[in-house]
């Protein structure tokens, strides 16, 4: 898998600069990351239109903010659209806005999302000694197929499942932005949409602690639900037989 060897080499070289990269470096890094992702994905059989949609998703979750207003200024009562400027580059927002992030960390979050996707099960395989160890400072682990797991459920994520349904994956934060968390690589990661629902507005430690206590209470009272819903099966059966 070549993925345009020259640009792949440039991408790896910038990766080895680690946290020493400046604004110009990070602007080159994201363009190279997008190019490497596009070429490698298409070479493994992903449709170009799907690749474009995935890259847009990464940008919307990385450098750009979520919608900044509930309704359109152009069409009263309608949600904002892209033409209505519902998303903005995060560093152009007012400092202190919950979606604000400086250009370098916001861009590195987007690069991290691309690398996490390239670390999913079934992702493209790169030549040895290229991207595998060049970005461990950003991802925390080698960029190799199968190394990335959903950080909530700790289960593998399929690259091809993600390509087939972009809604499968969402971006998340260990410390939610509503709770004062920052949009930066150390706090941001991809996760399954179901995991995002489970986490809600909790921090990751809070969610794990909550689930631990729920399991402990259910183990201590395994039949409690049945005691408060004694007729549930009968009612369900009546609904089926007598709609």
- Residue 150 and residue 69 in contact, taking contact as beta carbons nearer than 8 Å: no
State the Cα–Cα distance between residues 89 and 127, nearest whole angstrom.
34
113-144 pLDDT, tens digit each: 999 999 999 999 999 999 999 999 999 999 99
Q: What are phi and psi of 101, to 5 degrees?
A: -155, 145
Tokens of 42: 């298409």
| Beta-sheet pairing, 169-173 with 188-192 | antiparallel
| 1, pLDDT greater than 90 | no
| Helix, strand, coil share of the chain (percent; to 5) | 50, 5, 40
pLDDT value at position 19? 85
pLDDT value at position 34? 98
Q: How do the domains of the chain map onto residue ranges? A: 5-69+82-201
Q: Which whole-number Å values give the CA distances from 79 to 37, 64, 69, 83, in the listed order?
A: 31, 18, 8, 11
pTM across the whole model: 0.86
76-100 pLDDT, tens digit each: 666 555 555 568 899 999 999 999 9
| 74, pLDDT greater than 90 | no
- Higher-confidence position of 175 and 73: 175
Which uninterrupted H or E stretch holds 146? none
- Residue 156 and residue 32 in contact, taking contact as beta carbons nearer than 8 Å: no
140-183 pLDDT, tens digit each: 999 999 999 999 999 999 999 999 999 999 999 999 999 999 99
Tokens of 110: 């987007």
pLDDT value at position 234? 56
State the Cα–Cα distance between residues 170 and 168, nearest whole angstrom.
7
């Amino acid at each position: 898998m070549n993925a345009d060897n020259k640009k792949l080499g440039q991408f790896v070289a910038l990766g080895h600069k680690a946290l020493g990269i400046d604004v110009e470096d990070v602007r080159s890094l994201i363009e190279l990351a997008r190019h490497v992702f596009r070429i490698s994905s298409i070479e493994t059989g992903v449709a170009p239109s799907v690749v474009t949609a995935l890259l847009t998703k990464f940008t919307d979750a990385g450098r750009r903010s979520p919608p900044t207003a509930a309704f359109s200024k152009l069409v009263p009562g309608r949600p904002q659209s892209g033409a209505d400027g519902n998303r903005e580059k995060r560093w152009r927002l007012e400092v202190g806005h919950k979606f604000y992030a400086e250009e370098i960390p916001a861009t590195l979050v987007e690069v991290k999302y691309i690398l996490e996707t390239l670390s999913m099960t079934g992702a493209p395989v790169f030549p040895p000694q290229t991207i595998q160890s060049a970005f461990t400072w950003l991802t925390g682990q080698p960029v190799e197929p199968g190394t990335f797991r959903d950080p909530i459920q700790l289960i593998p994520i399929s690259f091809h499942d993600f390509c087939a349904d972009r809604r499968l994956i969402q971006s998340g934060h260990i410390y939610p932005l509503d709770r004062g968390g920052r949009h930066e690589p150390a706090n941001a990661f991809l996760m399954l949409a179901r995991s995002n629902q489970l986490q809600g507005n909790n921090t990751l430690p809070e969610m794990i602690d909550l689930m631990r206590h729920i399991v402990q209470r259910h183990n201590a009272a395994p039949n409690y639900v049945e005691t408060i819903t004694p007729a549930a099966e009968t009612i369900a059966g009546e609904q089926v037989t007598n709609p």
